[in-house]
Structures are given as C-alpha cells and as structure tokens.
Amino acid sequence: MLPTTAVRVADAALQVLGTGGLHALSHARVDTTAGLPPGSTSNYFRTRAALVASAVARLRELDGAAWEAMLAAGPPHRLPQLADMYARFVDDSTGAARVRTVARYVIFVQGVVQPDLLESLNADRRLLVEWTAGALRSFDVPQATATAQTLLAAVEGLIMHRLTGFVTAPAGPEVHRLVDNLCRRV
C-alpha cells in the first residue's frame, strides 16, 4: 500500500488521464489536481513513466475493490444474474467510474506502443475471463472460456460505445440479449 500522499497523487494522475488524456499528464498538473504543493508528485514518482505506473497500480487496486464489492452478494446462480452483474458493471464504468474507465482506455492505447503498461491490466482481464468462464461452466455453458472471452470483448465494446455517445440506452437489455445469444449459440 502506498503512503496516503502517494495515493492522492496516483488518484490525481488517473483523474488527469481520464479527463485530459496522456498528453495532459504532467507532474505539475497532477500536483494541481491533487491539491499539493508544486514538486510533490515528483517527490513520489520522479519520471512520467513512474507516474503512469502508479496510476496503473492504483487502477488495479480500485478495480479490485469495486469487483470485490460486486461479488459480495455471492456468485450468480443463473444466467440472468450474470447478465445483471455485467449490466451494473457497464453502467458503473460509464457512470460513476467513467473517469477511471477513460483513464484505463488511455493506458490501453498507450500500451500498444509501450507494452509493459499492458502486462498488469491484461492480467486483470485474464482473471475476469477465468471468473466468468467458471460462472458459465456452473450453468453448463459449453466452450465457457471462449464464450467468456467473447462476452467480455462485447462488454468492452458496449462500454466504449457508451463512453463515446454512440449508444445511450441503459445497458441491461443489451447485456441480457448478449448473454442470452452467446450462451444459446454455443
């Protein structure tokens, strides 16, 4: 766990990434966003790469806590419950956690030219695929891993469509249709 000020810095870095993109990320802007004296960010994260790495680590921490909270009610017992979980995930990712989601996508895109950024984020994706595949197996869905990968790709696409304003309708009906069609297809 990072010291409290370092967490403020990482949170501010996510805020800057999620509202201004990678080009907006600077030590000075993070200082301002975090409400810290000039030079504070540099005391914790000397380079821009270290600052981005802190944002990635904080993103994983926040995402993990959000996922644990979602799972606190227990695993889904039927496909509609799984669809409800993913609909809430889409709604949260494009609502309350929108800035964090945009920051994640900014980091993913930067990872195309800086692959080390993708390692931990893709590890989280793999965990989500494994968890989803386990849930699908419990519902006797064949090809659970492949179906989970397709489901998550479609969910990410829906999130992107909602972030960009291409789709504005509630996620629930679309996610339920997606889960129903995917699980019937296989």
pLDDT score, position 84: 94
Residues 101 and 28 in one domain: no
pLDDT score, position 75: 84
Angular region, 115: left φ>0, alpha ψ -120 to 50, beta rest: alpha
pLDDT score, position 185: 62
pLDDT score, position 64: 85
Residues 31 and 105 in one domain: no
CA distance 75 to 95: 23
Average pLDDT, the chain: 92
CA distance 136 to 42: 46
Q: Residue 23: give its domain's CATH number.
A: 1.10.10.60
pLDDT score, position 67: 82
User: Among 45, 174, 52, which residue's Cα sits nearest to residue 107?
Assistant: 52
Residues 48 and 93 in one domain: no
**From residue 154, how far is each of 47, 83, 157, 159 by CA, in Å?**
35, 12, 5, 9
The mean pLDDT values, 10 residues at a time, for the chain of 186 residues are: 84 97 96 96 94 92 86 87 94 95 94 85 89 94 95 96 92 95 78
pLDDT score, position 69: 86
Q: Give the structural domain span for 181.
A: 75-186
Residue 68 lies in a domain: no
pLDDT score, position 144: 95
Residues 106 and 26 in one domain: no
Residue 173 lies in a domain: yes
